[in-house]
Amino acid sequence: MTDLFQFDKDREASSAAKVRALEALLIEKGVLGSDSVDAVLQHFETMAGPFNGAKIVARAWVDPDYKKRLVADTPKAIAELDLPVGMAGAEGEHMAAVANDEDVHNLIICTLCSCYPWPVLGLPPYWYKDPVFRARGVREPRAVLREFGIAVPETKEVKVWDSSAQIRWFVVPERPANTEGFSEEQLASLVTPESMMGVALVAAPAP
């Protein structure tokens, strides 16, 4: 829909110069240190990201009791695993997992902004922040999921979770076929952020 709008030709160069100018001024004025922004970004490269969520999902796939505990008390179950410090940190103070199965497909959305479970998934991708997804996902989730490439049969219930208060939701997707005997590490490598928000299934590896 951005085709409807006209943008300055130097749109990106202009924003790049503006953000650099702002950061420089904030450093000069003592609002931030010159290492502050990098400190934030570093956290999302090593501590908080979808690599944590993928490990949680892999454990839930190999241990059905763990999956039950994860859905019943998400923070407690996450704390059982050997994950980086901060799994109840910023934007993950109160997280809740919902599990897909043969009867239910879950879709996470934030119609008012972009609430997202940072510790286990990192930062939200563009599709999640986009106003078109946020407008449509809540009324026509199946149509939206078709655009993402998933056909959910009408016999399967679609549950849409609108994150508007303290809870940050994520999805435990279904374990794909052809993964018998896979290690947790191999399983985790199959899990994408999109599958943990409900707009993708985890693809089965080639047999």
Partner 1 sequence: MKLQHHLGGLENLGPVNLETRVFVEDWEKRIFGIHTAMVAESAHLSDALARYPVKDLPTTFRNDWTWASLRTGAEDMQPFEYFKFRYYEKWLGGISQFFIDQGYITSDELNEKIGYYRSNPDAELPTKPNEDIGKQIDAYLKQGDSGYHPLAAPTRFSVGDTVRIANPEAVDHTRLPGYLRNKPGTIDLVYPGAFNYFVSTGVDGIGDPMPVYRVAFKPADIWGEGKSEVNSTIYADLYEAYVQPAN
Query: Which active-site residues does the annotation give?
Result: 110, 113-115
Answer yes or no whether residue 174 interacts with partner 1 by CB under 8 A. Answer: no
Please give the size of the binding site for partner 1, defined by CB under 8 A.
Answer: 90
Q: Which is nearer to partner 1, 133 or 170 (CB)?
A: 133
What's the closest the beta carbon of residue 55 comes to partner 1, in angstroms? 18
Q: Which two tokens stand for residue 202?
A: 């985890």
What's the closest the beta carbon of residue 183 comes to partner 1, in angstroms? 26
Given the rule CB under 8 A, which of 54-62, 63-71, 91-99, 176-184 is the region that contacts partner 1? 91-99
Answer yes or no whether residue 19 interacts with partner 1 by CB under 8 A. Answer: yes
Phi-psi region of 17 (alpha: psi -120 to 50; beta: other; left: phi over 0): alpha
Answer yes or no whether residue 123 interacts with partner 1 by CB under 8 A. Answer: yes
Answer yes or no whether residue 69 interacts with partner 1 by CB under 8 A. Answer: no
Q: Yes or no: say if 119 and 86 are a contact pair by the CB < 8 Å rule.
A: yes
Among 17, 72, 79, 203, interactor with partner 1 by CB under 8 A: 17
What's the closest the beta carbon of residue 203 comes to partner 1, in angstroms? 14
Nearest to 134 by CA among 117, 111, 113: 111
Answer yes or no whether residue 127 interacts with partner 1 by CB under 8 A. Answer: yes
Q: Yes or no: say if 129 and 59 are a contact pair by the CB < 8 Å rule.
A: no
Q: Which two tokens stand for residue 155?
A: 């016999």
User: Cα separation of 205 and 24, whole Å?
Assistant: 47
Phi-psi region of 203 (alpha: psi -120 to 50; beta: other; left: phi over 0): beta
Q: Which is nearer to partner 1, 2 or 180 (CB)?
A: 2
User: Cα separation of 163 and 73, whole Å?
Assistant: 18
